[in-house]
Structure 1
């Protein structure tokens, strides 16, 4: 398991990825509001598999389900990502769901190298590279390298060229 700080940092990278994909798909909405919402949802989704386990409705705030079970199930996060991507441009809330799913998948990827593993399909699978809290800098660097790759590839032909600023009369 990556540390809470690492999940927050990788969530920001997931938000950048989600925002770039939403922008590239043309589902940014008026004033690019859905791009910003996808970014925020990606940041939030980066920690979601852990806080979804907490019984927020109880005084003790204990876990209501076992850690790394249903909220860490890879199939559900991938299905949410695919469905939200399919709905981009058709339903405004799809951008938020897409960003949230990007963050959730980034969380699972950060937890995967730990010996406890992640239940991708049925049983847990682990890369078994290091113990919890170790190599957080490597996990964060890999997440941001992935974000850089996605953002630069998708933005090279769209909003990175500042056409949207020129259209507003400021560029």
Structure 2
């Protein structure tokens, strides 16, 4: 498991990835791009906070850690369905961002010996223990964000009307 700070840092990278994909898919819809970014940041910690029983005073876990909320197929299904709905549904962009963040969380937890349940049983890369090598996880997530941004044309953001008024 990555640390809380690592999940937040990778969440911003997931938000950038989601925003780039949404901007590329549906054009310069500022609301959709912003919502996908914010949902990506929120989704990066979602597998952990979705386990908490918010309806009880004790705020204990209502399910075992790294079970249903860390299930890879669920997050991948949400990503695929929301991607196919981009441009057709108002909720698709934030759902896509949320799924990007959730998947980023699973990827950050995967190197830990506890692993994550991608399909049925847990699988682990067994690279390091919790909280160690967070810098590698964060750097890899931001490298992925940079790559996706480059591939989807984020350097051309100067064409957006909002950025035309800014002087660099």
Category of TM-score, reference length = shorter chain: over 0.9
Kindly indicate whether residue 17 of structure 2 is the aligned counterpart of residue 8 of structure 1. no
Q: 2:84 aligns with which of 70, 83, 86?
A: 86
Q: Which runs of 5+ in 1 are unaligned?
A: none
2 CA distance for matches of 1:161 and 1:81?
A: 24
Shift in alpha-carbon separation, 1:52–1:25, aligned structure 2, 3 A: same
Q: Which runs of 5+ in 2 are unaligned?
A: none
The offset of 1:162, in angstroms, is: 2.0
Question: Where does residue 160 of structure 1 map in the other structure?
Answer: 156
* TM-score normalised by the chain length of structure 2: 0.94
Aligned residues: 166
Task: Work out whether residues 27 and 95 of structure 1, in 8 Å CA contact, stay in contact via their aligned partners in 2.
Answer: no
Instruction: Kindly provide the CA deviation profile for residues 47-71 of structure 1, in whole angstroms up to 9, marking residues without a partner as x.
Output: 0000000001111100000000000
Question: Where does residue 117 of structure 2 map in the other structure?
Answer: 119
Structure-to-structure mapping, 1:1-171, within 5 angstroms: 1-26=1-26, 28-29=28-29, 32-155=30-153, 160-165=156-161, 170=165
* TM-score normalised by the chain length of structure 1: 0.92
1 CA distance for matches of 2:12 and 2:123?
A: 25
3-state SS, counterpart of residue 162 of structure 1: helix
